[in-house]
Amino acid sequence: MKLRVTILFCFFILSACQVNEADTVVLNEGNPEITIKLNNEEITTFTSIYCWNDCAGNEQFSQIDLTELTKGLEPIWIASGTEVEVTTSIADELIKVSYFKQKSNNFVQEFLDSNVFDIHGREGLQQYMVVVDWYDPNRETLIGRAGTNFVVEIGK
C-alpha cells in the first residue's frame, strides 16, 4: 500500500512539472532567416548581429556604424516612398521589428507596429539595419535577435 501511494505521489509530481508545449517556442530549428523585400522583390543583405537562446547583455545597442556594416553591399536604386517588407522564418507572432537608419554620424531607431515601413528621403545613399527580436510567449524575455543590413540609393 505504501509503495502504491509513493508511486501515485511521484506520478502527480512529475505530471505537474511537465512543460506545456503550447507555451514554448521552438528555438533549435537552426538560425532564423530574415528576408527583406523592396517593392515585393527580395534583396541581398548582410547579417551582422545574431544571438539565440543566450542574449543576456544584448538588449541595448551602444554604437552602430552602418557605413562600416554595409561596406561592400551594392546599393539598390529606389524611389522615395518605396515599401520595405520584413519577413522571418519562424515564430512571427513573437517578434518585435525595428530598423536603424544612419543620419550623419548618428543612427536613429524606429520600432514598427507591423513588418512594413517606407523609405523616404532626399536623393543619395541610405544605410539600414533591420533588427528582429524574438520573445518568449509572455513577451518578457529576449530569446533571440538577428540584424541584417542593406543600402539603398534614392533616385529621381
Taking only the tens of pLDDT, the chain with its 156 residues reads: 544 433 433 333 333 333 333 334 444 456 678 899 998 999 999 888 788 777 766 555 656 778 788 888 999 999 999 999 998 887 666 788 999 887 666 778 899 988 899 998 889 989 999 999 888 888 778 888 888 999 999 987
In a domain, 5, yes or no: no
Q: How far is CA 9 from CA 5, 16, 19, 20, in A?
A: 6, 11, 18, 20
In a domain, 7, yes or no: no
Half-sphere exposure of 104 (CA within 13 A, CB side): 1
Q: Please, are residues 57 and 96 in contact by the beta-carbon 8 Å criterion?
A: no
Which residue type occupies 108?
A: V
In a domain, 6, yes or no: no
Pairing of strands 46-52, 41-42: unpaired
Which domain does 138 fall in, by range? 25-155
CATH of the domain at 119: 2.60.40
In a domain, 11, yes or no: no
**Nearest to residue 124, comparing CAs of 146, 103, 139?**
103
Q: How many domains does the chain have?
A: 1
- Say what the pTM is: 0.74
In a domain, 46, yes or no: yes
